[in-house]
Structure 1
Amino acid sequence: MNLSDLKTASQVNDERRRDPEFRAEWDRTAFARDVALRILRYRTDNNLTQTGLARQVGMTQSVIARLESGDQPPSIQTLARLSAGTGMEFDIRFSGGSVEFVAA
């Protein structure tokens, strides 16, 4: 098999999203993944380790690691602490039983 024969991550995800069970889990974790990406982007843009960010926001490294995993959505209180400690803004909307970021 050649490297050119391999599917891209996007192609694999597109195929997996056709599976109803996978799609349900993908949709359930969408907000958590968005938060995870924002935290990771903030950390890398500011050259912080998980421990460094945790100190900055008054949390533990393990909490930051869990947030970055994107498996579980953070609480409103957690988002408030992140915002207070970093200046990040989280504009969110609750609608139809889902949670999503609102474009700024």
Structure 2
Amino acid sequence: MEMRDVKLSGLKSAGEVIEERRQADAGFLDEWDRTAFAREVAVTVVRYRAEQGISQRRLADLTGLQQPAIARLERGSEAPGLATLARLTRATGLTFRLEIANGSAGLVPA
């Protein structure tokens, strides 16, 4: 099948895929919730790089982090520490507003 033969209308939404995984795997939702903050940071970092048109290596140079550390941030599987977030804000002008409540951490709109 060629790519042009794929119909987008047949694709599931992210919400549908997540719901299917949740129903099939009891531990999935716990892991999804555990990594929510890390994913939010990842989306912010990837969006910043895309908007600026810079590579992971260039962002690493700007922040003083190693390129593999930027790749791990963008993977969103582990929450970054406050020192890492501080380095990102100093080098990029990004703002991270955190809310820690009810056993979870997340970004709140700036």
Alignment equivalent of 1:12, drawn from 17, 26, 34? 17
Q: CA RMSD in A?
A: 1.9
Structure 1 residue ranges, 4+ long, deviating more than 6 angstroms after superposition = none
Q: Provide the TM-score with structure 2 as the length reference.
A: 0.85
Match of 2:96 in 1: 90
**2: CA distance between counterparts of 1:56 and 1:65?**
14
- SS of the residue corresponding to residue 89 of structure 2 reads helix
**2: CA distance between counterparts of 1:77 and 1:3?**
44
Q: Which amino acid aligns with 1:21?
A: G
Q: Provide the TM-score with structure 1 as the length reference.
A: 0.90
**2: CA distance between counterparts of 1:6 and 1:103?**
33
Q: Which amino acid aligns with 1:16?
A: R
Q: Deviations over 1:30-69 (max 9, x none)?
A: 0000000000000000001000000011111000000000
In structure 2, list runs of 5 or more residues that go unmatched: none
Deviation larger for 20-29 or 10-19: 10-19
In structure 1, list runs of 5 or more residues that go unmatched: none
Deviation larger for 83-92 or 6-15: 6-15
Alignment equivalent of 1:39, drawn from 40, 45, 53? 45
| Alignment: residue pair count | 104
